[in-house]
Structure formats: structure tokens, C-alpha cells
Chain A
Amino acid sequence: MDVLAALMDGFFIAFEPLNLGLVIFGCMAGLFIGAMPGLGSVNGVAILLPMTFLVPPTSAIIFLAALYYGAMYGGAISSIMLGIPGASTAVATTFDGRPMALKGMADKALVGAAAASFVGGTISIILFTAFAPPLADVALAFGPPEEFALMMLAFATFIGLGGDDIPKTFFSIFIGLVMSSVGLDIISGNPRLIFMDLPGFYHGINFLVLAIGIYGIGEMLWTVEQAKGDVIVTKVTVTVRGIIEALKDLRKTKKVMFMGSILGFFVGILPAAGATPGSLMAYGVARTMSKDPDSFGKGNIEGVVAPEAANNAASTGSMLPMLTLGIPGSPTTAILLGGMVIWGLEPGPMLFIEHKEFVWGLIASLYAANFFALAINIAFVPAFMMVLKMPFTILAPIIFILCIVGGFAPTQDMHDVWLMLVFGVMGYLMRKLDYPLAPMVLAIVLGPLAEASVRQSLMMSHGSFATFFERPISGTIMLIAIGLFAWPIFSTVRKRFRSGAYGAEG
């Protein structure tokens, strides 16, 4: 009951005129920043952090949390409408969001993304409110072996994404992981895989460069080829009835939405994980759970709903270790943590006692932000749809330019823009030969986490791989991952054996 009373107090704080205004402004700003390719919540929060010194700390964190949420919603917009991930957290949304838009179902995808974000945010706030202290202990129980096991599970869920061509899927994962290791060795600090001694490789390969290269430039090159010189205009119509119908249709996806929310929240609370791995894992699990996994990547609404529910849930989840332990769960929360320290607030268990109004004001404002972001997003669906009505000969060059500027913005290095072009061309050439590209993106995101956790685990165990199976949590996750890895190989062999047997009989 104490928690509920504190939460109610938090709502009173969140609905104070200044705070409510900041929530709405934060959502709008976040939505816009998140929708720009290459920019995500981390850019918005970092850029607008100094502005928050003009208001009290509680209002400041409320504004930044609203911005964080708005950016989570906004990231999906350019993923769906343009096929370029607006933010790293929206990469998985591109896989099915863009095909849906091309089929004339952009309104369904946008409404699905917004509603799933709302559900993900709501479930995660409930979990946050009810279980913050015990969940912080769970997060702490995750050592390097458990983290590595979780990464293996994420890769395992993606094995099926390449269809029957298993070696190409494995290849895609391996090359993504190798690219993630470019830069400085995380332990010794020595330069590693610095191709042609180009200085741009020292800061590693930003995964947005790969994602925008493949899904922005590569996709555009593909579409230009498919267009064969014709003027393409995607047929779109948007009506209020259509939006209501789209909302009703989402009932079929409630299981996936719920799974994405829970998974996203738990991945979010793990230190250093955050919303991007959460959304990619939710996509993989949704596909694994689906009765029609082959429709994923071709415009399945579940492929939009799962990652969107997960990335919003994870954004709330990543606040948990930040507030309770002082450990940021994502790059954005790391900046928020810096802001809290500047405002004179010390994160940790005492924060819940000494600055109750701050913590519960923040939690309540997260909920308010969630609601406003949903409302704003749905209200703007018709405006977003206008983008698709543009002829392709106007849209394509605009997308190319957004890719270039978006690829430059995160590191502000032209080296990355060239790299993005190389990835775009390679992605286009490989796609023509059925190489699955989504696992490559997943691998470059999870690579640094996977490498750090495997090396730390092996150092702890003096080189014994048994450590991954001896600990109960990591052992269980590892066994599930191995099962998922083996399943497509097993089912392919079984299929071939059966067809061979029938062939022999026939």
C-alpha cells in the first residue's frame, strides 16, 4: 500500500502544470529526434541535458524521461515509413515495418508500433513499481557467464531467420561479430583489425553505420533496381476507421506484445544491455514462437509489435538499476545518471527513502509520458503517411541524404559515411544471393557485450568453458540456446531424410 500511496503522490507531482507541460514537450521533441535517422534518445537527452538546469531536478528528470520515451516511439516512424532505423532501438522494427509500409499497411504498422510501445511501457512500469528492489537483486545475480548465455540465446533465436540456408545465417552472425571487434581491444587496449591503418577504425564500427548502410542505402539500391525506371508511389489511405480497425486487429498480437514487454523489461534491467538488444531478442523470440515464421521479414505485424513493446519496456527497465544501484542499463540512462549527480542526487537504495518525491514523480511521469506519446503518435499517423505518397524519385534521394547525414551524426566522421556506402553496396549484393542481413545487425549490437562477458567468464574460470553450464541460471539459458541452435539443423536433416525415404519408397 505504501508503494501505491507513493505512486499516487508521484502522479500529483507529474501532473503539476510545469511538469505536465514538460512531459508533453519532451514527448514531442523525443518523437522528432527519434524519427530522424541516426539520432536516438541518447542524442536528445545529451543535447537537452543542460537545458534542464533551468528547472528543479524532479521536473528536469521528468522532461528527460518524456524525451526518452518520445524518442522510443519516434524511432519506429522512420523505420516503418522510410526503412531507415530512426534509432538503434528501432532496427528490429525495420525488418517487418518497412515491408508492411510497402504493402500499403503503413497505418497498421504505425498504430501497432504505438500501441505496443504503450503496452510495453505500461507493463514495465507496473513491474517497476511492484518489484523494483527485488529486481535489482536479480540484475545483480547476472554475472558475465549469465550475460554471455543470454547473448547466445539471442543469437539462437536468430538462426531460424535465414530460412533453410543455415550456413549463410551463421556466416551473417560471425561477420557481424567480427565487425563488432574492430577498434581497440576491450581488455588490453591494443588496436585490433585496423584495416589499411585507417584512423577511422580506431573508434570501432558504430552499428548504426551498418544498420543504415544495409537498411537505408542497400534497401534503396534494391528498390531502385526493382523500379526499373518506373515512378513508384506506395498506395496509402488513412481513415479514422482504419486506425480503429488497426487497433482492434492488435488483439491477435497480445501474446507477442506481452512477451516483448516482459523480455524487454528484463533485458533492460541488466546493466549495459538496454533497449537495442532487448528489441532484437524480442523479434527473434516472436519469430520462434510464431506459427508462421516464414512471414517474418515480409510484413508480419508481430515483427513490429514485439520489438516495439520490448524497446519501451527496456527503457523503463534500464532506469531500475540506475535508480536502485547507480548502474546505468543503457547509454541514455548513463547520461541521466550524470545529470542526477550534477543535480546533487545520489542514486542507490537511499534515493527511494531520501528523495521519494523524485523517484515516484519520475515513475508517474513515465506513465504520463507513455500516454501522451501514444496519443501524439496516433494523432500524427496521417501526417506520417503523407511521406509514402511522395513519388519514389523524390523520396529516394531524400532518403539517401538522410542516410548520409544520419550516418555522419553519431560519430561526426566522414569515414563512417564511406563505410556506410560500402555496407549498403555489400548488403545489396549479398541480399540478391539470399544472405540474411538481420542476424548481422544483431551480432554487431551484441558483439561487444558478448566478447566482454565471454572473456570475463573465462578469466574467472581460468579458461574452463564449463563455467557456462555449472551456474544454474547460465546453465539453463545455455541449454535452451543450444536446443534452439540445433533445432533448424535437426529439422532440415529430418526433412531431407523423410523426403529421401519417401523418394526411395516411391
Chain B
Amino acid sequence: MRLAELVMAVAMAIFSLYLMWKSAELPIGWIEGSGPGGGAFPFWLAAGMLICCIWIIVRWAKRLSPPSRSTESYMNAMSIKAFLIGAGSLTVLIGGIHIVGVYVMVPLFLIFHMRYLGGHPWTVTAPVAVGMPVFTFFFFEIALHITLPKGYTEPAFYPLYEYFLG
């Protein structure tokens, strides 16, 4: 945990410097007649972030914050596995939505989590895996007219749009 506290503070300090540099693409000083330049607001805030990171590192060195005193590990094997499954499956879900759309990826995601990770029987998994996309379609697309991404499966939905929305 102690090392993680330092790594995070240093990473955020580098990110703050990047934000300061990026903000400076627009003027950061006073422009006569139009006030502070467009980059001033984010530039000085990023400078504030940097100061905070230095402050966090000083506190880390003095062992003032709880994580800087902690002897626990930041992530053990169990938590790394849980994190990789959670974040990894979400990455696959979002990536897959670009290609085959929400209505293919959502059932697959639900089956993976409920059937393979949760161990629920098909009698529980199947109704949720089918019901969720059906609900999403009717609520978002038909009732609220919010079109969800469908990737290559888009043409398959034209008859449904035709039928429900005319």
C-alpha cells in the first residue's frame, strides 16, 4: 500500500504537468480586452494538482497518511483476479458493442457473469439474458427514441423500427 501511494502520487504529478503543458496550447495569461486566456483556468488548476501531489509525497515521506503507514498489499492475487474479470469483461463488452452492437453483447455478457461466474442455472440465466435486451430496446429505442449502437447487426433492426415506429 505504501509503494502504491507513492506511485499514484508520482503518476498524478506527471499527469498534472502534462495537463499544464496541454492547457498552455491556449493563452494562459491576461489578454487585453478579453480577460484571462482560454488556457488560464485549467493551467492554474493543474498547477494546483501538482502542488497537491507534492504535498501528498511529503506526507508519504513523513508517514502521515494511513496508506503510507500501511503494511498491507495494495492488491493481492485474489483482488487482481476479481479486478481483471470485472474490468476485462467490461472492456470486451464495450469493444464488442462497436462491432456487433448492444443486443448481441448484452446477452453474452449476462451469460458469462450469471452462468459461468455465478453458476446460476439456465432457467435463471436465460430469462435475464433475453429480458434485459428486450426491455432495453423497448424502453430506450421505442419509448424514448434513443438509438443504441448495433454495429453490423443494425440492418436486422429495420423491420422492428418499421413496425413499432412506422
A404 lies within 8 A of B53 (CB): no
Complex Cα distance A282/B103, Å? 40
Complex Cα distance A82/B74, Å? 26
Say which size band chain B's interface belongs to: 35 or more
Q: Is the interface of A mostly helix, strand, loop or mixed?
A: helix
A225 lies within 8 A of B144 (CB): no
Which residue of the partner chain, among B65, B75, B78, B83, contacts A434 with CB atoms under 8 Å?
B65
* B-contact 0/1 string along A200-237, CB 8 Å cutoff: 00000000000000000100110011011101000000
Which residue of the partner chain, among A43, A192, A424, A430, contacts B38 with CB atoms under 8 Å?
A192
B114 in the interface (beta carbon within 8 A): yes
A178 in the interface (beta carbon within 8 A): yes
Residues of B within 8 A of A425 (CB): 87
B81 to chain A: closest residue by CB: A229
A455 lies within 8 A of B35 (CB): yes
Give the segment of A62-70, A162-170, A289-297 that binds chain B: A162-170
Complex Cα distance A454/B44, Å? 13
Nearest-Cβ distance from residue B104 to partner chain A, whole angstroms: 13
Which residue of the partner chain, among A171, A401, A432, contacts B53 with CB atoms under 8 Å?
A171
A177 in the interface (beta carbon within 8 A): yes
Residues of B within 8 A of A217 (CB): 90
Residues of A within 8 A of B22 (CB): 193, 195
Give the segment of A106-114, A378-386, A405-413 that binds chain B: A405-413
Complex Cα distance A192/B37, Å? 11
Residues of B within 8 A of A454 (CB): 36, 41
Which residue of the partner chain, among A192, A220, A433, contacts B86 with CB atoms under 8 Å?
A220
Residues of A within 8 A of B159 (CB): none
B66 lies within 8 A of A434 (CB): yes
Residues of B within 8 A of A391 (CB): 118, 120
* A-contact 0/1 string along B127-144, CB 8 Å cutoff: 010001000100110001
A405 lies within 8 A of B91 (CB): no
A126 in the interface (beta carbon within 8 A): no
A239 in the interface (beta carbon within 8 A): no
A401 lies within 8 A of B109 (CB): yes
Residues of B within 8 A of A455 (CB): 35-36, 41
Most B CB within 10 A of own CB, among A178, A396, A421, A425:
A178
Residues of A within 8 A of B145 (CB): 47
Nearest-Cβ distance from residue A122 to partner chain B, whole angstroms: 30
Complex Cα distance A405/B79, Å? 26
A432 lies within 8 A of B4 (CB): yes
B145 to chain A: closest residue by CB: A47
* B-contact 0/1 string along A383-422, CB 8 Å cutoff: 0000000010110111011001100110010100110010
A433 lies within 8 A of B49 (CB): no
B40 to chain A: closest residue by CB: A455
B63 in the interface (beta carbon within 8 A): no
Residues of B within 8 A of A412 (CB): 146-147
Complex Cα distance A187/B35, Å? 10
Which residue of the partner chain, among B8, B102, B106, B148, contacts A433 with CB atoms under 8 Å?
B8
B45 lies within 8 A of A174 (CB): yes
Which residue of the partner chain, among A178, A187, A192, contacts B49 with CB atoms under 8 Å?
A178
A458 in the interface (beta carbon within 8 A): yes
Known: A421-B87, A433-B5. Contact between A193 and B34, CB under 8 A?
Answer: no
Complex Cα distance A227/B38, Å? 46
A193 lies within 8 A of B90 (CB): no
* A-contact 0/1 string along B71-113, CB 8 Å cutoff: 0001100110011011101110110011000100010011011
Known: A185-B26, A228-B78, A393-B113. Contact between A170 and B52, CB under 8 A?
Answer: yes
Which residue of the partner chain, among A171, A405, A417, contacts B52 with CB atoms under 8 Å?
A171
Residues of B within 8 A of A95 (CB): none
* Complex interface residues of chain B between 22 and 47 (CB less than 8 A to chain A): 22-23, 25-26, 30, 34-36, 38-39, 41-42, 45-46
Residues of B within 8 A of A33 (CB): 144
A47 to chain B: closest residue by CB: B144
A432 lies within 8 A of B120 (CB): no
B37 to chain A: closest residue by CB: A188
Complex Cα distance A393/B19, Å? 39
Which residue of the partner chain, among B8, B66, B102, contacts A430 with CB atoms under 8 Å?
B8
A168 lies within 8 A of B56 (CB): yes
Which residue of the partner chain, among B12, B78, B90, B114, contacts A171 with CB atoms under 8 Å?
B12
Residues of A within 8 A of B75 (CB): 432
B85 lies within 8 A of A463 (CB): no
Complex Cα distance A217/B90, Å? 9
Nearest-Cβ distance from residue A136 to partner chain B, whole angstroms: 29
Most B CB within 10 A of own CB, among A168, A412, A414, A425:
A168
A39 lies within 8 A of B65 (CB): no
Most B CB within 10 A of own CB, among A175, A221, A397, A421:
A397
Known: A190-B26, A401-B109, A433-B4. Contact between A185 and B38, CB under 8 A?
Answer: yes
A450 to chain B: closest residue by CB: B41
Known: A394-B120, A398-B132, A400-B109. Contact between A177 and B45, CB under 8 A?
Answer: yes
Q: Please name 15 further chain A to chain B contacts, defined as beta carbons within 8 Å, in addition to the given A33-B144, A404-B90, sorted by A numbering.
A: A168-B56, A175-B49, A178-B45, A178-B46, A190-B26, A217-B90, A393-B120, A397-B112, A397-B113, A398-B132, A400-B109, A401-B132, A409-B146, A433-B67, A458-B36
Q: Can you sample 10 A-B contacts with CB below 8 Å?
A: A175-B12, A221-B86, A391-B118, A398-B132, A404-B97, A404-B102, A433-B1, A434-B67, A458-B35, A458-B36
Q: Mark B residues whose CB is within 8 Å of A.
A: 1, 4-5, 8, 12, 19, 22-23, 25-26, 30, 34-36, 38-39, 41-42, 45-46, 48-49, 52-53, 55-56, 59, 65-67, 74-75, 78-79, 82-83, 85-87, 89-91, 93-94, 97-98, 102, 106, 109-110, 112-114, 117-120, 124, 128, 132, 136, 139-140, 144-149
> Which 10 A-B residue pairings sit nearest by Cβ, starting from the closest?
A393-B118, A185-B38, A397-B113, A171-B52, A459-B35, A167-B55, A174-B48, A181-B42, A174-B49, A167-B52
